[in-house]
Amino acid sequence: MSLVVSGDQIRLLTFDRPDHLNAFNRDLWQRFRDALQEAAEEPQVKAVVVTGNGRAFTSGQDLSEMESMVAEGDGNLPAQVMELLIDYPLPLISAVNGVAAGFGLGLVAHSDLVVMAESARLGAPFVGIGLAMDAGMSHLLPQRIGYSRAAHLFLTGGWLSSAEALESGLATARVADGEALAAALALTEKMAPHPASALRATKRLMVEARRDAVRTALAREEKTLHELAAGPDHRERVAAFLAKRSA
């Protein structure tokens, strides 16, 4: 199983493809989409916590499945997840236990609270495979960590350490390795006494303040990604990555 779902009032979603650094294949996109939707529709759920099993939070899209997903009509699965995240009605907490790259970075950017393990890193590998950012990150990341830091991350295809994420305000807390999930769940204990209706209303007001800007950014990103994905640079970079050779 690629996703483990547990909890009642606090819904815990655990990415469970540790041998693939929890990369998103077709099954994980579908399960994550459905789990987010189901939690949102259950009135007793007060918050959703997301984490990963093993060394990674998630390394983003599984490049070995990307072409087959598009060819078989499942290429819109990531867009369906993005659509949920833009308006997500529940407090969303990321317990970043390890590497978070690509969509992993995007999920962190959409999260209300982020707890990072000391050795965890956030990566933006998009230019390295001939693409640009997605998930509304062209708006969200500059807003959360500042334009200059976001530009450096995106244009170099670099990494943001847990210390840098905390200093920039993207991370809520930085804890010892192995303690990210426990610390995230401790945050939910502070939410648990409050009515679910009040928590959802608060989240809705915060999301609505940025929703139009994120949606507009996402539309621009999707157009650009389609153009870049059809080009030779992206195809060569992905082929080189899969073959473990230099582009």
Give the pLDDT confidence of 57-101 residue by residue, as tens digits: 999 999 888 777 776 776 789 999 999 999 999 999 999 999 999
Tally of domains within the chain: 1
pLDDT tens digits for range 175-229:
999 999 999 999 999 999 999 999 999 999 999 999 999 999 999 999 998 899 8
Residue 141: give the domain boundaries. Answer: 3-179
Sheet holding 10-15, edge to edge: 3-6, 10-15, 47-52, 92-96, 113-117, 173-175
* b (16+ CB within 10 A) / e for 101-135: bbbbbbbbbbbbbbbbbeebbbbbbbbebbbbbbb
**89-114 pLDDT tens trace:** 999 999 999 999 999 999 999 999 99
Based on DSSP, count helices (H) and strands (E) in the chain, helices before strands.
Answer: 11, 10
Classify residue 236: in a domain, yes or no.
Answer: no
pLDDT band, residue 153 (cuts 50/70/90): very high
Q: Which residue has the tokens 């547990």?
A: 6
In a domain, 206, yes or no: no
Where in 121-247 does DSSP place strands (E)? 121-123, 159-161, 173-175
Provide the pLDDT for residue 238.
81
Residues found in the chain: 247
Q: What is the average pLDDT across 146-175?
A: 97
Specify whether the CB–CB gap between 140 and 109 falls below 8 A: yes
Residue 166: predicted pLDDT: 98
* Residue 83 in tokens: 């659509």
Query: Could you tell me if residue 10 is inside a domain?
Result: yes
Q: Is there a domain that residue 146 lies in?
A: yes
Can you give the pTM of this predicted structure?
0.94
The pLDDT mean for the chain works out to 94
Is position 217 within any domain? no
User: Is residue 195, in this structure, part of any structural domain at all?
Assistant: no
Q: What are the tokens at 127?
A: 């230019």
CATH number for the domain that contains residue 21 = 3.90.226.10
